[in-house]
Structure 1
Amino acid sequence: MAKLNWGMIGGGKGSQIGPAHRLGAGLDGQFDFVAGALDHRADEGRAFAESLGIAPERAYGDWKEMLAGEKDRADRVDLVTVATPNATHFEITKAFLEHGFHVLCEKPMTMTVEEGEEIVKLARASGRICAVNYGYTGYSLVRHMRAMVARGDLGRIRLVKAEFAHGHHADAADAENPRVRWRYDPSQAGVSAQFADCGIHAMHLASFVAGQEVERLSADTVSCIESRVLEDDAMVNFRMSGGTVGRLWTSSIAIGRQHGLTLQVFGEKGGLRWAQEQPNQLYWMPLGQRLQVIERGEGNLSPEADRSSRVTVGHAEGMPLAFANIYSDLAEAIRAGKDGRAMDPAANLYPRAEDGLRSMAAVFAVAESGKQMGAWMDARPPMFR
């Protein structure tokens, strides 16, 4: 089977997210890394791309040069990953979709709800894939949680509780560090800091597992370090489309927490608990029975979990392998489209542009609710109301 061609924009030398994408895209041998515009500094970007094995003529200085160079090639890239600063996501994603490319965009997909609706409409009209990298949905046991909920193991879902809390921005003396400061500056980050950066991952994970969308929310947002304009801590209550109650806490000042992404799901017939820092174990408590520990890599889990587990039981799988599952989903979707067939249902799990749009609507709803002392807000984008 011939490999698909893959290109990347952003994620250059020293990038936090770039290596995870390159590992994830290459892990299963589905994609060849053939093109890139990896840095806003053209010469550095070209040099780094060539050091990774990209041919000089496809090591581009910026994304516009890459679009011009790729759009008419017979062997052009099948998938473009956008891993640039947040404010550039909309423009780049829109341009590549308009020229018929499939796109995987880092979150946030856009900076406004209106831009998000435009991307959703464009992706639907073009028939191109626009995926958003909510990469934590790639973890095998997260997918098994979703499957357990969907097949009714927990009965009706009553409550989901999500957290994404760390303490890496807790030092007030670090407030002027440029690597930290921009996150709390509305001119660079938009209307929200911690919720838009981390909390939205937790909210999307809750929707992904519960199979429901967030419809209304109420938020208490605060800047615990007073010099910050945007929030560094938020508590969000929400209600979902199937009647499930949601609770979410996100923080960047929680000293002692490292990453802190966890999800608990409570239904009529049992409860589930998963933590991203211990991703190989899923805790399952059926009503009236003993606590069970489900291990990643065990035999005969759900098709979704079996398909997304590569390493034998007892060995750790981490974030790059979760990213790899997103890329594997996308490879299956692209191949199915080329072949004119239905894709494997167990692979049809990659987050869509619609997820990116819903997330942006939630960001604005949280920001407005925080200003209004927790007033309940409609969290749906206008086109989905």
Structure 2
Amino acid sequence: MINGSKVLDHPIRWAMVGGGKGSQIGYIHRSAALRDHSFQLVAGAFDIVPERGMAFAAELGVAPDRCYPDYKAMFAGEAKREDGIEAVSIATPNSTHYEICKAALEAGLHVVCEKPLCFTSAEAEELVALAKAKNRVVGVTYGYSGHQMIQQARQMIRHGDLGEVRVVNMSFAFGGYNVKVEDTVPAAKWRFDPSKAGPSFALGDVGTHPLFIIEAMIPDMEIDSLMCTKRAFVEGRQLEDNAFVIMNLKGTASVQDGAQVYCWASSINCGARHYHKIRVVGSKASIEWDDERPNQMSYEIEGEPVRILERGAGYLYGEARVEDRIGGGHAEGLFEAWANLYRRFALAMADADRDEYQDFWYPDVKAGAQGIKWIEKCVESADRGSAWVNF
């Protein structure tokens, strides 16, 4: 259990690009990073309007001489300081992620980046190679994967509790963009602009979340082929607001050859707050997790009563209890999940070898690249009339 004590010799000197005043995601980044004393916010380029960024930096307690008009000025200025930043988080629109991440790695900085890392597999492969060459960590904020029950699912599949995985049913289908909210909500407008959001909205913005979760649950999962259909139901949108994907998997130690995955990614699921669910069906049993009830997971063995597994319970695998922040029965939520990921990012950045993490994982640059490849293949399939494409 996490008790708030420090895990590093010194907090990592950390900055943000974006995430300024009024940014919901910026607040989540800061709350998560600062939770366990592993990071210290010392600098930032918080806003595209420098004056607003400077005013917000003062509210955060960041020194005026370490608040910069843009990321280039920040990387150059901090490189001249003996106490310069060691890591940076990127919380800006999608179209800027690649250039900022690349510049940060070239400056010798660790990176935490919002997804998607970039727009193309070529760019993603470049970032993977650069991170390796520079020996820097790139963490991608698939925030829901920080919930402890994801680790429980991983261990159950690893230990054969489900048997061979046969079917995965996953969805992230909320209803908040069921009407053309981008006409009145500036934060939504860029998400349907291909020049700013990339080649996809529903698949890239929400579909990649359950994709990474099942990759975390089933580490040896390999996609063989996929088929996608997508469309924009709300008139005037350049990018899809709804998509369906079917995938065939290769046989591995935990996955039956020919296993199938179904994904529904949507922003027009009328009345749904999130509808972000994962169901893994095995040859012995099934599990189901819902991110709106993240502390519970159903465990269903054929012919037996359904079991509801609870976060923090003694019957869970030890790896699922390492990151509990309070005893079982108390609700933990998204801020704690993000804090768990930031703690993992910090440990990875410090090259720590923690015995309690018997299979240490976090959403890294390769996971980010995998998401980009998946989006590309889905778009390719849809553009070819929902043809099957090899992965």
TM superposition score normalised by structure 1: 0.93
The amino acid across from 1:264 in the alignment is R
> In structure 1, how many angstroms separate the alpha carbons of the residues matched to 2:222 and 2:64?
45
Residues 1:40 and 2:70 aligned together: no
Task: Give the SS at the match of 2:123.
Answer: helix
1:107-155 CA-partner distances (Å, limit 9, x unpaired): 0001111110100011111111111111111011111111111122111
Tell me which of 169, 176, 187 is aligned to 2:183: 176
Q: Structure 2, unaligned stretches of length 5 or more?
A: 1-8
In structure 2, the partner of 1:356 is 368
Identity %: 39
Residue 344 of structure 1 and its aligned partner are, at CA, apart by 5.2
In structure 2, the partner of 1:94 is 102
Q: Is the 8 A contact 1:107 1:133 kept in 2?
A: yes
Tell me which of 178, 185, 199 is aligned to 1:191: 199
Equivalent pairs counted in the alignment come to 375
In structure 1, the partner of 2:131 is 123
Please list, as runs of the form range in 1=range in 2, the aligned pairs for 1:106-145 lying within 5 A after superposition.
Answer: 106-145=114-153
Tell me which of 254, 257, 263 is aligned to 2:278: 263
Residues 1:248 and 2:257 aligned together: no
Q: Is the 8 A contact 2:322 2:356 kept in 1?
A: no
Q: Is the 8 A contact 2:112 2:140 kept in 1?
A: yes
In structure 2, the partner of 1:318 is 333
Residues 1:372 and 2:381 aligned together: no
Q: Is the 8 A contact 2:228 2:243 kept in 1?
A: yes
> In structure 2, how many angstroms separate the alpha carbons of the residues matched to 1:335 and 1:343?
15
Residues 1:282 and 2:297 aligned together: yes
Task: Give the SS at the match of 1:336.
Answer: coil
Please list, as runs of the form range in 1=range in 2, the aligned pairs for 1:211-250 lying within 5 A after superposition.
Answer: 211=219, 212-241=221-250, 242=252, 243=257, 244-250=259-265
Residues 1:2 and 2:10 aligned together: yes
Task: Give the SS at the match of 1:137.
Answer: helix
Task: Give the SS at the match of 1:237.
Answer: strand
Task: Give the SS at the match of 2:313.
Answer: coil
Residue 298 of structure 1 and its aligned partner are, at CA, apart by 1.3
Q: Is the 8 A contact 2:232 2:242 kept in 1?
A: yes
Residues 1:329 and 2:337 aligned together: no
Distance 1:125-1:21 versus aligned 2 partners, 3 A rule: same
1:53-109 CA-partner distances (Å, limit 9, x unpaired): 112221222111110122243322232111111111111111111121111111000
Residue 342 of structure 1 and its aligned partner are, at CA, apart by 6.7
The amino acid across from 1:265 in the alignment is V
> In structure 2, how many angstroms separate the alpha carbons of the residues matched to 1:69 and 1:227?
43
> In structure 1, how many angstroms separate the alpha carbons of the residues matched to 2:84 and 2:359?
24
Q: Is the 8 A contact 2:319 2:356 kept in 1?
A: no
> In structure 2, how many angstroms separate the alpha carbons of the residues matched to 1:131 and 1:144?
21
TM superposition score normalised by structure 2: 0.91
In structure 2, the partner of 1:77 is 85
Residue 347 of structure 1 and its aligned partner are, at CA, apart by 7.2
Q: Structure 1, unaligned stretches of length 5 or more?
A: 380-385
Residue 43 of structure 1 and its aligned partner are, at CA, apart by 1.5
In structure 2, the partner of 1:383 is none
> In structure 1, how many angstroms separate the alpha carbons of the residues matched to 2:239 and 2:120?
17
Residue 46 of structure 1 and its aligned partner are, at CA, apart by 1.8
Distance 1:18-1:347 versus aligned 2 partners, 3 A rule: farther
Task: Give the SS at the match of 1:294.
Answer: strand
In structure 2, the partner of 1:382 is none
Distance 1:73-1:311 versus aligned 2 partners, 3 A rule: same
Task: Give the SS at the match of 1:307.
Answer: coil
Residue 167 of structure 1 and its aligned partner are, at CA, apart by 0.8
> In structure 2, how many angstroms separate the alpha carbons of the residues matched to 1:195 and 1:323?
22
> In structure 2, how many angstroms separate the alpha carbons of the residues matched to 1:188 and 1:345?
38
Task: Give the SS at the match of 1:33.
Answer: strand
The amino acid across from 1:220 in the alignment is T
The amino acid across from 2:325 in the alignment is R
The amino acid across from 1:291 in the alignment is V
Q: What is the RMSD of the two structures over their aligned residues, measured on CA atoms?
A: 1.7
> In structure 2, how many angstroms separate the alpha carbons of the residues matched to 1:37 and 1:213?
39
> In structure 1, how many angstroms separate the alpha carbons of the residues matched to 2:54 and 2:390?
45
1:328-371 CA-partner distances (Å, limit 9, x unpaired): 1112122235xxx5775357221111111111111111112112
Please list, as runs of the form range in 1=range in 2, the aligned pairs for 1:153-168 lying within 5 A after superposition.
Answer: 153-168=161-176
Distance 1:135-1:213 versus aligned 2 partners, 3 A rule: farther
Q: Is the 8 A contact 1:336 1:343 kept in 2?
A: no
> In structure 2, how many angstroms separate the alpha carbons of the residues matched to 1:27 and 1:104?
16
> In structure 2, how many angstroms separate the alpha carbons of the residues matched to 1:229 and 1:316?
39
Q: Is the 8 A contact 1:111 1:360 kept in 2?
A: yes
Q: Is the 8 A contact 1:166 1:253 kept in 2?
A: yes
